[in-house]
Structure 1
Amino acid sequence: MEEEEERTQKLHKTKKKKKQQEEEEEEDHTEMSSRSSLHSLPPTTTTINSPPDSPTVSSIPDSHGSSPHTIIPTPSVASSIPVKNETPFRVEEKVSESRRQLRPSFSSTNTRDTKLGNLVRRCLVGFRVCAFLSCLVSFSVMVSDRDKGWARDSFYKYKEFRFCLAANVIGFVYSAFMICDLVYLLSTSIRRSKHNLRHFLEFGLDQMIAYLLASASTSASIRVDDWLSNWGADKFPDLARASVSLSFVSFVSFAFCSLASGYALCSLRSI
């Protein structure tokens, strides 16, 4: 009997030792798994605030056969989620804002262009009206210069005077047409022809009429000086000289009109 009791006690002891060894091995295994899981997580610079780690319950029986609850801390899932770094986007936004500040705003350039266009348009209207009136008075005085003074001479006997008369008539008709066009533009703010060929035509016609008036006025003034040197002072050359001086005024007006049309040609804008 005593031998059987000793054998049973030895068996119990060996069983307890085996259980203790198994418990230690399981504890070591769980610790190693938790450490490996912690080492396997990616390094993060910034993490989202998360609640405390949730404990894991493991039922491991002790030597008395009971199963106490052992709490092993495990890393939370929310703490392992990396947060995206938003600094590149912020840098790109700052660079784009700096580029926008360096670039001139389209609204400011448009307002400047509109103000300059309005100023040039008003000046052009004034020069057109001046050229219209000077051409009208010039050819009217030249037509009235017939059978004047003691010589009873007439303008149609001299080709220089006829040339000056024709040039002023052409400038008068062209100025009247352009004044009507400008009045229509100012009243409706709509261009009849938006093709770029219009700018070339305006600039070319202004230049041609300006040079035509310059040559006609120069030749007529030379004819007046020659007549005065041969016959002396009279009412006929005085009227011719007045007509020639007004023709020079119309030439200056068309020269300024050609500058305005040249601006419209370079900027390709209706004025």
Structure 2
Amino acid sequence: MEQRFLLETKEEEDMFRKYSDWRYFSNHFIQNVTSLVNEAKLRTGREDMAVPLESFKLTISGSGSYKVIRYRFEWIEFADSTGGQIIIGDVFEVEGLFLLGDGILDITVSSGYVIESVSPPGDADSGIDLRWNNVTNLESGEPEVVLRQRAFGVGAILREHAIMIISVILVLGIGSFSVWYFRFGKKAEKRVKGVAQPPEVQFELQDDEEKVVDLLRATGGRLYQSTVAERLEFSRSKTSKLLTSMEKEGRIRREKKGRQKVVILTNETRD
């Protein structure tokens, strides 16, 4: 779960303090997620479904009046694996799975997979990234996404255990919305049974947006978009998506120059 704060009012500062407090994270978010996973386990019959306590992480990044709080966890056996396919969908039958009740749903598939079928079709589909603009329009059990391993893949792509990393973005001060990001990874290692201790709060040095801001500040406030991708070693697709988000937030603007785009820091971000 990722929450972004523009700390321009006392209310926003109070909200930031609340959500960055480990006690809130432990007493509310972890308990809510654990309850949802237990319900999904009963509904799907996948007995190995779990969210290891040690996988919960709280990180804080950002600078000045712009802060980002990220909640992260692993969901083992999120999807069903059968007949050489991974099928996503049955956990969406659990009421309240989307903790904020609305928002955007993104599913990102790693390079080891291809999307075989999607129902209902997403509002955006790049072949790797799927997006539904409002989860309230989805019925129980939707969306259903079927993945299969790429023909050239090597053994470890399709696994009995699928790990799900879930993020939610809540933007305060501009009007709020939420985004759920689902990404599939490799099979989880077997975990030692027993009571795990609460993970420590980890502070990230920078997120991707802050890297872009620092790069632009160091180069006079403007760079070609292709140069941003090259300097930060981001793919063109990732750079475009990241800059589009930053442009909507008012952190940068872009101007067309010939066949290229120039990325320019806004005055507010320069300060």
Q: TM-score range by the shorter chain?
A: under 0.3
Could you say which structure has the higher helix fraction?
Answer: 1
Answer with 1 or 2: which has the greater Rg.
Answer: 1
Could you say which structure has the higher strand fraction?
Answer: 2
